[in-house]
Every structure is written in C-alpha cells, then in structure tokens.
Amino acid sequence: MESVGPKNSLLYKDFESHPAAVVKCGRGIYLETEDGRKILDATSGAAVACLGYDNCEVRDAVALQLMDLSYCHPGFYKAKVAEDLAGFLVDSTNGQMSKAILCGSGSEAVEVAVKLAKTHFAHLPTPQPERTHFIARTGAWHGATLGALTLGDFRGRKDPFVDLIPQTASRVSACSTYRGLRNGESEEAYVCRLAQELDDEFQKIGPHRVCAFVAETVGGSASGCATPVPGYFPAMKAVCAKYGALLILDEVMCGMGRTGTLHAWEQESIVPDIQTVGKGLGSGYGAISAVLVNANLVDSFRASGKGFAHGQTYMAHPLAAAAALKVQQVIKKENLVANVRNMGDYLGQRLKSRLSSHQFVGDIRGRGLFWAVEFVVDKHSKKPFPANLGLNGRLHARGMKKGYEIALFNANGTYDGYAGDHFLISPPYIVTEAEIDDIVDRVCRVIEDTFAELVELAPKVQGLNGVQ
Ligand code: PLP
C-alpha cells in the first residue's frame, strides 16, 4: 500500500495522484517509510544529505548548541558558532574568499549574491548604479524565490509566475558537451564560441549595464550534471573582466565536496567574485546556506565605508550553524571528499558499463558523486521523449515501489532549447562500493521495467510510435 501524504501539509506533490511517502526515520543512506519500505536514497535528498541520516556527532553537536544558545538576532549579535562556521568557510578557500554571509536556503543565498553584486558597484569610488543586468545560462536553476527565478531557466517552475518576476536577466548557452559541442568541433573551439556568445551578449545589453555573469559551476537539477569543458570558466571570466563585470558561481548543489573538491571552482583554474553554497553545507541537519565573498570585493566594500543593506530573522541561525560546522569537521576528519572522488569514479564507470548501450540512454555525465542519466527516443537525433509521457516521473515512481525501493532525483531537464528527461544519482559521501553496486543494479531494473511497460504502451502514446 502506498502511503498518502499528511492531510495537513499541502506540498506540491501532496496531491492524490502523487502521494508523497511518509518518512518515519533515516538510517545511514536509507529512509524508512511509515508503510514499511526501506528506500535506498541514491540522491541524498537532492544532493543534500552527504553524511546520510543518522550521524551521531552532528546530532550531539546540535543538542549541545541547543543547551547553550538557541537563537540570537543576527542584526544585534554574532553567535559564536556562526562565526566559527564563517571562519571555516573562509579558511577552506585558502584566503581567496574573505567573508561568509550565512543564510537559510540556497534561494536566499542567490538573492544575497545578486544584491551584493549590485551594492558593490553602487559603492565604488565612482559608482556604477546602472549595472543592474545579469547574464545567466540556459538550463540553469538558481532557486524558487522571485529574484532567483529571474536567473533560472526551469520553465515548469518559472512560467506560472513570469508576470511577477523581475526582467533583469538574459541568457547565453550553457556549456554542454552532449548538447552543445558540435560534431567535429574541438573543445577549444567550443570554448571560443561560448566566450564569443557571452561577449556578444555584453555588447547587446551594453557592457556598462551588466552587473554579473551567473553560472552553476557544474550544472544541477535542470541541466543534469553538465560539466564544463577545460578552459570554459577561465574564458568566461576573461570576458567578465574585459567589461568590469563580476562572476557569480552558484555552488548550492555542486559545492561543499559533491564534485570531488570542497569547492567545484577549484577544478576550473579560476576563483569567482561571489560564490553560493547550500545543500551539502549542513547536509540536511540544519537549514543553512552561505555566500562567500572574494577578498577583492571585501576590500572595496571596506574602503567605501558603506554597508550592505540586507537582514533576515533566521540568518546565521546557531543550531543550523552548529550542525553545519560539525558536518564539515566530520567530512574533513573522515577524508570524505577523497571518498567522493573514489566512489564517484567507480559510480561513473559502473553506470557507463551497464547503461551506455541502452537504446534510450542518451548520455551519462557527471563528476564526483554527482551523476545524471539523460534519456532520448533516438540516440542519433538526441530527440527527447514527448513531455506528455512524464518519463522522469514514471522512473521516479517505479523506483519508489516495493521491489525497487530506490530514490532517484528525477527532473524535467532544460537543455539549451530542449526539454527532456533525466535523473540524478548523487549518493551520500559515506557510500561504499557495495552500496554503489546495489544502486546501479536497482537503477538498471527501474530503467528496464519502466521501458518494458512503455514499449507496450507505445502505440497509444503520441510521439512514441515505432519505439521498440
Ligand atoms: N541554486 C542551485 C544551483 C540549486 O540547485 C538550488 C536548489 O536546487 C538552489 C539554488 C536553491 O536552493 P534552495 O532550494 O535551498 O532554496
């Protein structure tokens, strides 16, 4: 029996057709539901729970913090534990970033990053208040609040609110070897083409009006773990520098170790001006995110003698900060980022060896413990499945059924002009080789059985005729 979501909470999936499983407890990398299912969480929620669900050290750190200080207003005080966490974050960048602003969610961090970038230009000795435009990328997801939706490109979540969203962003192509790199084109030529596209966009908007270029260092939910090709970010940063604009990297999903280094930009030979982190920071033990600010920007803020007009009641919350600080200490002590690299390589190999030849698997891509499988009707044309099929929803639903019991983070992808289907596999950093084997076995069964059902349905589904 599928359990039905709590009657009192209306979440977007709590409708009768999509009953959410009611989770009773979490153990290791498994979630146990009220109706007796033990779900292998292959996605850490959505790349959140990097330590799994029952880390005792984190639990004790939160309990101890609760005994000392539950809350203090961030406008009047600084909680000691929040200062310690900010110090940890700054140190983790080898002095490249020199301030951390602690917030409550990824969307808030993105909003803070945008406001901070604008404030930077307003506070320069010769102010540049006209820099209010942001250039983002196709297939981006930066969060659900109105300001963050401005930057995002996840049509399903954005379109219903388009008349409320500030129109202060435009878009250039994301970097995607699967969808963007042309046949026979070298990666160097591809990077030049993308840099030229960004340059053209600056020219179109008016370079003096552009505040920042905003990108996920490794694409997340909407683009499905799209990894940059070598040289991409240095080229994009050079275009920003040419026009005096900032580079904001959103690492809410791909940051804090998920791709095999604490900060994903460490693998890109650049340092951003502003960076966001979120999900992996608190590993789900606390609702927390952060904005890291480059030393150069901080110096210029300091020189201006002016502040940053931003405040929220639950910023730098002591309980969330205590959780995040302990999570990060455990990750360091147990050398878990190395495990992300090793297990990530293994996961990538296993997925490729089992699924590359599958008729409907178009691409398998990722880095560290951050992988996506993208589905296409036809490998040659890369044509996606018809949207009305709800393929990614079907894959997720099958994974949650008895006999499969694996959580896959399904998404309606948005890839450079295409809408399609993929799911993410982003297990906790504590995952073992045996658990990865189990994940890959279950993933293969989910895919086989979902497509077996679809092929039976094929004659009835518009756009699927001929699939076998
Ligand atoms: N930025 C990125 C890259 C994300 O992946 C997300 C969430 O998926 C967000 C921002 C928004 O974070 P939150 O859902 O915590 O508000």
pLDDT given at position 5? 40
Kindly report, residue by residue over 199-208, the tens digit of the pLDDT. 999 999 999 9
Kindly tell me if the per-residue pLDDT of 468 is higher than 80: no
Percent of the chain exceeding pLDDT 70 equals: 93
- What number of CA atoms fall less than 13 Å from residue 390's CA on the CB side? 6
Could you count the other beta carbons within 10 Å of the beta carbon of residue 457?
11
d(CA 463, CA 157): 24
In contact, 35 and 2? CB cutoff 8 Å: yes
Answer whether 331's CB lies under 8 Å from 337's CB: yes
Going from the Cα of 453 to the center of ligand 1, the distance in angstroms, rounded, reads: 33
C-beta of residue 154 within 8 angstroms of C-beta of residue 433: no
* Cα 106 to ligand 1 centroid, rounded to whole Å: 4
Two structure tokens written together for 318: 């002591």
Looking at residues 140-165, what average pLDDT do you find? 93
Distance 424 CA to ligand 1 centre (A): 14
CA gap 254, 368 in Å, rounded: 9
Q: Give the CA-trace dihedral at 180, 186, 190, 196, to 10 degrees.
A: -150
- pLDDT at residue 463 in the model: 59
Please report the sign of the dihedral spanned by the C-alpha atoms of residue 42, residue 412, residue 18, residue 401: negative
The DSSP symbol for 22 reads P
> Of 285, 300, 272, 252, nearest to 128 (Cα)?
300
The pairing of beta strand 361-366 with beta strand 371-375: antiparallel
Confidence of residue 451 (pLDDT cuts 50, 70, 90): very high
Residue 22's pLDDT band, with cuts at 50, 70 and 90, is: very high
128 pLDDT exceeds 90?
yes
Could you report the per-residue pLDDT of 357-395, keeping only the tens digit for each?
999 999 999 999 999 999 999 999 999 998 888 898 899
Q: Is the CB of 399 under 6 A from ligand 1?
A: no
- Nearest atom in ligand 1 to the alpha carbon of residue 279 is 15
Find the 446 Cα to ligand 1 centroid distance in Å: 27
Ligand 1 contact via 420 beta carbon (within 6 Å): no
Identify the pLDDT of residue 110: 98
pLDDT in tens, 31-66: 999 999 999 999 999 999 999 999 999 999 999 999
The predicted model gives 400-425 an average pLDDT of 85
DSSP 64: H
Higher pLDDT, residue 427 or 95: 427
In sequence order, what DSSP letters do the residues of 164-229 get, joined into one string?
Answer: TS---EEEE----TTTTSPTT--HHHHHHHHHHHHHHHHHHH-GGGEEEEEEESS--TTTTSPPPP
Is the pLDDT reported for residue 290 higher than 90? yes
Contacts by 339-342, CB closer than 8 A, 24 or more apart: 339/429, 339/430, 339/431, 340/257, 340/258, 340/259, 340/260, 340/368, 340/369, 340/429, 341/260, 341/368
In the reported structure, the alpha carbon of residue 465 is separated from the centroid of ligand 1 by a whole-number distance in angstroms of 37
Residue type, 14: D
Q: What angle do CA 415, 241, 218 make, to 5 degrees?
A: 30
Which of 108, 112, 151, 253 best tests ligand 1's pocket when mutated (most atoms within 8 Å of CB)? 253
What is the rounded distance in angstroms from the CA atom of residue 386 to the CA atom of residue 183? 25
Distance 142 CA to ligand 1 centre (A): 5
Tell me the backbone φ, ψ of residue 163, rounded to 5 degrees: -75, -10
Two tokens at 316? 């730098």
Between the CA of 5 and the centroid of ligand 1 the distance, in Å, is 24
Q: Which token pair is 75?
A: 């406008």
Q: Which atom of ligand 1 is nearest to the CA of 140?
A: 3
Give nearest CA residue, ligand 1 atom 7: 143
pLDDT, the chain, mean: 93
Query: Looking at 14-28, 110-124, 223-237, 284-298, which range is the least confident one?
Result: 14-28
At 56 the three-state DSSP class reads helix
Contact call for residues 230 and 273 (beta carbons, < 8 A): no
65 lines ligand 1 (CB under 6 A): no
What was the pLDDT predicted at 9? 53
pLDDT at position 3 over 80: no
Please say whether the beta carbons of 274 and 81 come within 8 A: no
Nearest to 136 by CA among 101, 165, 104: 165
* C-beta of 252 in contact with ligand 1 (< 6 A): yes
Q: How far is the CA of 231 from the centre of ligand 1 (A)?
A: 25
268: Cα separation from own chain's centroid: 17
Grade residue 17 by pLDDT with cuts at 50, 70 and 90. low
Backbone angles phi, psi at 381, to 5 degrees: -80, -15
Angle at 281 between CA 229 and CA 150, to 5 degrees: 60
Residue 11 has pLDDT above 60, yes or no: no
Question: Which pair of tokens denotes residue 361?
Answer: 């698997």
Let me know how many helices (H) and strands (E) the chain has, helices first: 14, 15
Is residue 45 in contact with ligand 1, taking CB distance under 6 Å? no
- C-alpha–C-alpha distance, residues 284 and 410, integer Å: 19
Asked whether 110 lines ligand 1 (CB < 6 A), one says: yes
Ligand 1 center to 403 CA (angstroms): 31
Question: What is the tens place of the pLDDT at every residue in 239-288?
Answer: 999 999 999 999 999 999 999 999 999 999 999 999 999 999 999 999 99
Q: 223 CB less than 6 Å from ligand 1? A: no
Q: Is 142 in the pocket of ligand 1 (CB under 6 A)?
A: yes
| Cα R_g (the chain), whole angstroms | 22
Whether residue 259 contacts residue 218, with contact meaning beta carbons closer than 8 Å, is answered with yes
List the residue whose alpha carbon is closest to atom 5 of ligand 1.
253
Q: Is 35 left (phi over 0), alpha (psi -120 to 50) or beta?
A: alpha
pLDDT at 419: 78
- What backbone torsions phi and psi does residue 20 show, to the nearest 5 degrees? -80, 140
Q: What is the percent of the chain where pLDDT is above 90?
A: 83
CA of 89 to the centre of ligand 1 (A): 19
Ligand 1 nearest atom to the CA of residue 250, by list position: 3
Q: Say if ligand 1 is within 6 A of residue 216 CB.
A: yes
Structural domains for the chain:
23-54+335-460 (3.90.1150.10), 57-333 (3.40.640.10)
Distance between CA atoms of 35 and 23, rounded to whole angstroms?
9
